[in-house]
Structure formats: structure tokens, C-alpha cells
Amino acid sequence: SQQGEEDPQALSIQEGENATMNCSYKTSINNLQWYRQNSGRGLVHLILIRSNEREKHSGRLRVTLDTSKKSSSLLITASRAADTASYFCATEKASNYQLIWGAGTKLIIKP
């Protein structure tokens, strides 16, 4: 079974609104990564946050990591139609460096 679990499974918002997705995991990690996938294509890396970091920003993206709660959130501010995609979190296990993937959040931005 996968360690990472994202919620919500699907999210539909109006263009311009903020979108928040969450990811939970179970074991100690080296890092947590967020990826975006447009329909039928490969995944694109967004942000990598290490276990000793609490927050990271990249443009309109903000990622937080709470290792005590074993959870992370991805915030996309001022959403655009082009942000419509599936978003996945992946955790690198500290024990063996294996990446464990969540099932993804499908984000739809309505114009």
C-alpha cells in the first residue's frame, strides 16, 4: 500500500482562487516532493522540501511540512486555468531512499 495519501481526491475552484492540497505519510522521511501531471503526460517536479525544512516557496507555490504530524500541504495562490492538472506527493523513505507516491489530487480550475 502507498505511504502517501493526498486529500482531497478532487478539487474544483474558480480561476483566481487559492487551492490547497494535503499529503500525509507514515514513516520517517528524507524529503517530500510535489509533482504535477497534465493529462496523459509525464510528471513535472514542482518542489522538494527536506525533513529539516518547514516551508518552501516557488513562485505561486507554497509548501509546508510538519514532521510531527507527518503531513504536508501544497498551496497554489491566484490559480489559473493552466494549473488544471493532477498533483502528486512523493516521500523519500529515510530507511531505504525509496519514493512512495500518493494517489494524487485532481485539480480543476474553472475559468
Binding site for another protein (CB under 8 A): 2, 30-31, 33, 35, 40-45, 48, 50, 88, 90, 92, 96-99, 101-104
Nearer to another protein, 18 or 57 (CB): 57
The x, y and z cell numbers of residue 47, run together, are 518542489
Smallest gap from residue 14 Cβ to another protein (A): 27
Nearer to another protein, 50 or 110 (CB): 50
Q: What angle do CA 90, 83, 44 make, to 5 degrees?
A: 40
